[in-house]
Structure 1
């Protein structure tokens, strides 16, 4: 896929991710390990794995630290989604949905850096957004 250099194109990619409509979400970057239909008990993250249980035997392998720590609106997204399901058995759909969230956050982090590069290449903030005066 060619690299996008317009803010509108990058913004469109970001919107598709946040609406969970991006085709990138169909390719998980994590692996669910442990027993199927596991109960969300004690949520924690370590060594690129998000654990669902105190014994750290069941969870999602491959969640990078920057993704695990990513916050939106003051909430650590990866932790909050699972903590909101504490005591519940995760279905196959829940597992797939969480894997999509991880992809969306990973891609969001990548796109934020790309957006920053495009803005800098066009004069930085706020210069990149000011119309050029014509004589």
Structure 2
């Protein structure tokens, strides 16, 4: 991926503030906005680490973990074009295979439709 395409995919850099003393500078906007299962991952992670919730300030290991998460999500976002093209290729191959070799699914008779009594369970 070219540098220009990478910059386009990641978007502008934003600063993410946990509080007045703790913030991360230069988080790519696409990474900050990254959602899984309807949740904005980084925002949700930080929301559970507010001092009012934990009863203590953020520790260095937690701050490092946030930075590591930004890096990992950045890698996923940068792979979006490749992941999308792989998905499309597999999808198209699956559709072609299913139309070329349709699978016959056996039909199960409904015992009541034939007048047969069902066995007690």
TM-score > 0.5, shorter chain as reference: yes
Q: How many residues align?
A: 85
Structure 1 residues 58 and 115 mapped into 2: Cα distance closer, same or farther (>3 Å)?
Answer: same
For residue 14 of structure 1, what is the aligned residue in structure 2?
none
For residue 63 of structure 1, what is the aligned residue in structure 2?
27
Q: TM-score, normalised by structure 2?
A: 0.57
For residue 126 of structure 1, what is the aligned residue in structure 2?
91
Whether the aligned pair in 1 keeps the contact of 2:27 and 2:70 (CA below 8 Å) is: yes
Displacement over 4 Å in runs of 4+: 130-133
Larger Rg: 2
For residue 28 of structure 1, what is the aligned residue in structure 2?
none
Q: TM-score, normalised by structure 1?
A: 0.52
Higher RCO, Cα 8 Å, sep 6+? 1
Query: Is residue 51 of structure 1 aligned with residue 17 of structure 2?
Result: yes
**Deviation string, structure 1 residues 79-122 (Cα, Å, up to 9, x no partner):** 010101111411111011101111111111122321113344x4
SS in 1 for 2:27: coil
Query: Is residue 75 of structure 1 aligned with residue 22 of structure 2?
Result: no
The CA RMSD over aligned residues, in Å, is 2.8
Between structures 1 and 2, the one with greater helix share = 2
Counterpart selection for 1:98 from 55, 66, 86: 66
Whether the aligned pair in 2 keeps the contact of 1:51 and 1:59 (CA below 8 Å) is: yes
Whether the aligned pair in 1 keeps the contact of 2:50 and 2:58 (CA below 8 Å) is: no
Whether the aligned pair in 2 keeps the contact of 1:70 and 1:77 (CA below 8 Å) is: yes
